[in-house]
A and B are shown apart, each in its own frame.
Chain A
Amino acid sequence: MTAPADPGAGPAGVGIGWRPEIAGFVAGLPGLRFVEVVAEAVAPHGPPPAGLAELVERGVTVVPHGVRLSLGGAEPVDAARVAHLARVADLVRAPLVSEHIAFVRAGGLEAGHLLPLPRSREAVAAVVANVRRARAELPVPLALEPIAALFDWPDDELDEADFLTEILDATDATLLLDVANVHANARNRGADPLDLLDRLPLERVSYVHVAGGAEQGGFYHDTHTDPVPPEVFDLIRELCARHRPPALLLERDGHWPPASTLRAELDAIAAVSGYPVVT
C-alpha cells in the first residue's frame, strides 16, 4: 500500500466532481484546489485514472466519494468494499473520504442507487455500527451525506434533522451536506428547506454538494444531468449566511453541457459563496 506520507489539505473553495468525460475540462481550471472522484471507479492498486494523477501531483485535494458501501444496510458493511475505499484514499493522498446515509442492496438484490432509511432508532444504530466498522479500517476521516429521497418509510420516529444529528453525535463523522438534496426533499415533502438548515450542526460540514435536477411526474428529481436550479443557489446563499462551509463542489454526471455552461455554474457557486473563482 502507498503510504499517504503527506495527506493533502482538506476540501477548500469551489470544486467539481471529477469524471473521465470531463477530465480535460477539469485539468484546465486554473484555480481548482479540490475535486471528488467516485471511489468505485478507481482501480485499487493504481495508477489513478489518466488526468486524476496529474491533479494529485498539482496538489489538488482529491476526495474519494463512495456510492456502494451501503452504510445504512442492516447487515455489517462489506469489509472488501471498505478496504477498497481505504486503498483509493491512499492512492490519491486523500485527507477525507465520503459516503451516504443510505442503503443500496438488501436480501441479495442490488437496488442500483441510494435508497432512504427509515428515520428510526434502529436505523440510526445500523448506520452508527457500520460507520464505526468502516472508520476502524479507513486511513482518514469520513464525511456522511444525507441523500435525496423520493419516498419516506411509513413509521419514521425522528425528523430529518434529529435523525442526522443522532448519527453525527454517535460517530466522529463530519457532514457532507448536499443543498440540492435539501431542496429535493423539502420540495417533495412540502417542507421548508430552511428549517433543516436552521437545525443541522453546520459547524460539522466538511463540504457541500451542489447539483442540478428537474421536475418530472410531479416530483423534483436530483438528476445531476440538468442545470442547477435557482432554488439551489438560494440555499447556498442561506447556508453561507448561517455558517459558510469550507468548500462547495459541483456534481455533474451526464448530458454534458458546453464547457462555458459548466464554467458559468462554477462561477455562480463562487459568487454566491464568496469564494475565489476557479475558472
Chain B
Amino acid sequence: MSGDPAVPAPGDLAARQAALVAALVAGGPLPPGFAPAPVDAARRALLRKRAGDVARHWPLLAAGLGPAWPATFAGWAAGRPTNGSLRDGWDLARELRGRGELPPLGAEELATREAASRYDGTRAPRRRRLPALARAGGAVAVQLAGRVRLLRPARR
C-alpha cells in the first residue's frame, strides 16, 4: 500500500478532505483524479442548498429578489466559503446595497437587522444594548430597549 506512488499515503485523509472542500466552496483546484463534471454538479448543488438555508434566515431579502434569488445568491457565494447563513445573507445584502441592487423588502430587512445588532463584517453580530437607528434603501428602523420598529418603508 505504501510502495505505490499512485496510492496516497495512509493518514492523509484529512488533507485530501480539506482539498476537496476547498475545491467545492473556496474556488480551490480540483484534486487529482476526480471527474470534473460530477464534482462541478456537486459544487452547484451545494450553492443551491446554501441559497435555501440563507433564504430561511433572510426571507424578505430572498422574497424581494423573487425568481432572481438563486442566481443572485450563487453569483455572490461561488468561491466564497460560508460564514453561516445569518452572516452570508447580511454580507450579500450589504453588497447589493452598495451596488444599488437591494430590493425594498431586503432593504427593510437589512435596516431592521442593523438596528437590532452590531455587525462588523468579520465576527458574529452582537445585540445592541443602546438605542439605535439604521437606514437602508430609504428604509429606517429604530431599536429601543431591544424592540425594533420599521419607522419608514424603503423606496419603491
Q: Which residues of A contact B (CB under 8 A)?
A: 73-75, 103, 105-113, 115, 118, 120, 122-123, 126, 149-155, 188, 217-219, 221, 253-254
CB nearest neighbor in A for B7: A155
Docked Cα-Cα span, A151 to B20, in Å, equals: 11
What DSSP secondary structure best describes chain B's contact surface?
A: helix
Docked Cα-Cα span, A217 to B7, in Å, equals: 32
With A109-B22, A151-B42 in contact, is A74–B50 under 8 Å at CB? no
Number of B interface residues at 8 Å Cβ cutoff, please give it: 35
Q: Do residues A115 and B13 form an inter-chain contact, with CB atoms below 8 A?
A: no
Docked Cα-Cα span, A118 to B53, in Å, equals: 27
With A73-B17, A103-B17, A106-B18 in contact, is A111–B33 under 8 Å at CB? no
What DSSP secondary structure best describes chain A's contact surface?
A: loop
- B38 CB to closest chain A CB (Å) equals 4
Contact of B124 with A by CB under 8 A: no
Q: Do residues B25 and A109 form an inter-chain contact, with CB atoms below 8 A?
A: yes
Give the residue among A109, A110, A122 with the most B Cβ atoms within 10 A. Answer: A109
Q: Do residues B14 and A122 form an inter-chain contact, with CB atoms below 8 A?
A: no
- A76 CB to closest chain B CB (Å) equals 11
Given contacts A109-B18, A110-B82, 10 further A-B contacts (CB under 8 A): A105-B21, A106-B21, A109-B81, A111-B24, A112-B53, A122-B11, A149-B42, A188-B38, A219-B38, A253-B52
Q: Which residues of A contact B18 (CB under 8 A)?
A: 106-109
**5 closest Cβ contacts across the A-B interface?**
A107-B18, A154-B33, A151-B38, A74-B14, A106-B17
> Which of A107, A112, A149, A152 is the one whose CB lies under 8 Å from B82?
A112
Docked Cα-Cα span, A149 to B25, in Å, equals: 16
Q: Do residues A111 and B46 form an inter-chain contact, with CB atoms below 8 A?
A: yes
Contact of B65 with A by CB under 8 A: no
Query: Interface digits, B49-70 against A, CB 8 Å rule (1 contact, 0 not)?
Result: 1101100000000000000000
Q: Which residues of A contact B130 (CB under 8 A)?
A: none
> Which of A109, A122, A150, A152 is the one whose CB lies under 8 Å from B13?
A122
Docked Cα-Cα span, A150 to B44, in Å, equals: 11
Docked Cα-Cα span, A109 to B81, in Å, equals: 7
Q: Do residues B7 and A151 form an inter-chain contact, with CB atoms below 8 A?
A: no
Docked Cα-Cα span, A111 to B7, in Å, equals: 25
Q: Which residues of A contact B11 (CB under 8 A)?
A: 122
B1-54 interface with A by 8 A CB criterion = 7-8, 10-11, 13-22, 24-26, 32-35, 37-39, 41-42, 44-46, 49-50, 52-53
